[in-house]
Amino acid sequence: MVQIPKTPAVASRAPRSAPTSTDVARLAGVSRATVSYVLNNTGAVRISEPTRRRVHEAARELGYVPHAAARSLRAGHSRMVLMPAPAIPAGPLYSRFFSELQKALGHLDYTVVQYGSVGLRGDEAARAWAELRPVAVLVPGADLGPQGVAVLKRSGARAVVTLGPESVEGAHALLMDHRTVGHCAGRHLYERGRRRIGVVVPEEAGLEAFAGPRLDGVRRAVRGTEATVTELPLAYDERAAAALAARWRSLRLDAVFAYNDEYAMLLMRALQDEGIGIPQETAVIGADDLMLGRLLRPRLSTVRIRLPSGPQLAELVDRAVRDPAAAPVRRRVLDATPVHREST
């Protein structure tokens, strides 16, 4: 029998485990320290050119990839920015916003990671995030309490930023108050002479966080006037829309804010099928300014929403990370403007 000596590094075509810097060092005939110096381009230490080449060569040959966990364990910190992945599929507005933010943070050399927090809620989720020891955490929505913020900070997060309706003790807050959207729509309708305003409230789960404030915003917009606001629960579904349209005239409404452009299209179609004149008999306004709305006939009036730009927000995060002791930022960032087209 011939014994084949198995040098770990060259054992076989399918090595049992990942090559380490030790393997690289061995192959290059240098110490682990030297490998680290070369691969990280450490400025303080000069390594001879031939050595550098040998190290690089060896690393390439072995397919060496540094171990992020070991590195950040040693360093005591990472550059990971964590955000929970949205539980419900996000709309185009939000998706674009996240994409941009991700890119901008990437340019600042952060690694952005979306964490799929399945069933976790509240402090449980915060603990799960904290296990990864992110340098910053961005949390949309209201999934995080003061306790959660404390947990994250204690475990090394230098910045916790919430994107939501309310600010949370200890965290930076980008206030995205959807009441503004409703307020904008409500005022637009009121100014155009409408007095009996319906507000669509989606029945789909996960939308309450937006729907409630938008409704509330409309109420505020007409508070102290003679105008009335009627809540209209609606499922995103043709039958439900038809049913609502069928009893529309009995509701005696002269306008409706349809939550967003998609619900607006759904409802508008149903109202038109019912022979209700838009905007003469009922004015319809949506929100989000999707391309969709421009294509409808009549063209759909809407509320345009502007979220903070990626680079702007990225810089805020970066500043917060660099100076964790600074006072928490508290900034309104949801900008809403009415876009008047033909449906109102």
Which residues here bind a copy of itself, judged by CB under 8 A?
A: 15, 17-19, 63, 65-70, 72-73, 76, 78, 85-90, 92, 95-96, 98-99, 102-103, 105-107, 111-116, 118-119, 127, 130-133, 150-151, 154-156, 236, 238, 262, 265-266, 269, 291-292, 294-295, 297
For residue 315, give the amino acid letter.
E
Q: Which of residues 176-195 bind DNA (CB under 7 A)?
A: none
CA pair distance 227, 103, nearest whole angstrom? 45
Beta bridge partners of 228: 196
Smallest Cα–Cα separation from 97: which of 311, 292, 335? 311
Q: Which residues pair with 306 in a beta bridge?
A: 335
How far the first Cα of the chain sits from its last, in Å, is 90
Strands (E), 72-171: 80-84, 111-115, 136-140, 159-164
Is 88 one of the binding residues for DNA (CB under 7 A)? no
CA distance 16 to 23: 13
Q: How far is the CB of 46 from a copy of itself (least distance, A)?
A: 26
Q: Which does 103 bind (CB under 5 to 8 A by kind): DNA, a copy of itself, none?
A: a copy of itself
Q: Which is nearer to DNA, 1 or 75 (CB)?
A: 75
Q: In 3-state terms, what secondary structure has residue 231?
A: strand
Q: Closer to a copy of itself at the Cβ: 115 or 190?
A: 115
Q: Which residue's CB is nearer to a copy of itself, number 128 or number 333?
A: 128
CB atoms under 10 Å from CB of 132, counted, come to 17
- Tell which one of 22, 225, 230, 337 touches DNA (CB under 7 A): 22
Q: Nearer to a copy of itself by C-beta: 37 or 97?
A: 97
Residue from the set 26, 27, 34, 80 that interacts with DNA by CB under 7 A: 34
Is 41 a binding residue for DNA by CB under 7 A? The answer is no
Q: Does 78 bind DNA (CB under 7 A)?
A: no
Contact 328, 295 (CB under 8 A): no
Q: From the CB of 75, what's the least distance to DNA, in Å?
A: 6
79 binds DNA, rule: CB under 7 A: no
Partner interacting with residue 269 (select from a copy of itself, DNA, none; CB below 5-8 Å by kind)? a copy of itself
316, 318, 323, 324 alpha-carbon torsion, rounded to 10°: 80
* Subset of residues 48 to 77 that bind DNA, contact rule: CB under 7 A: 48, 51, 64-67, 70-71, 73-76
Phi–psi pair at 284, nearest 5 degrees: -125, 130
* Whole-angstrom distance, CA of residue 28 vs CA of residue 58: 6
Helix (H, G, I), strand (E, B) or coil at 103: helix
- DSSP letter at 229 equals E
Tell me the chain's radius of gyration from C-alpha atoms: 28
d(CA 238, CA 246): 12
Q: What is the Cα 102 distance to its own chain's centre?
A: 9
CB nearer to DNA: give 62 or 199: 62
Q: Is 17 in the site for DNA (CB under 7 A)?
A: yes
Give the nearest distance from C-beta 48 to DNA in angstroms: 4
From the list DNA, a copy of itself, none, pick the one residue 47 interacts with, judged by a Cβ distance below 5 to 8 Å according to partner type: DNA
| Residue 90 CA from chain centroid, whole number | 8
Nearer to a copy of itself among residue 131 and residue 226 (C-beta): 131
Q: What residue has token string 């990370």?
A: 321
Between 55 and 197, whose beta carbon lies closer to DNA? 55
Q: Which of 13, 16, 46, 247 binds DNA (CB under 7 A)?
A: 46
228 binds, among a copy of itself, DNA, none (CB under 5 to 8 A by kind): none
Q: Is 11 in the site for DNA (CB under 7 A)?
A: no
> Is 196 in contact with 227 (CB distance < 8 Å)?
yes
Positions that interact with DNA (CB under 7 A): 17-18, 20-22, 29-37, 39-40, 42, 44-48, 51, 64-67, 70-71, 73-76
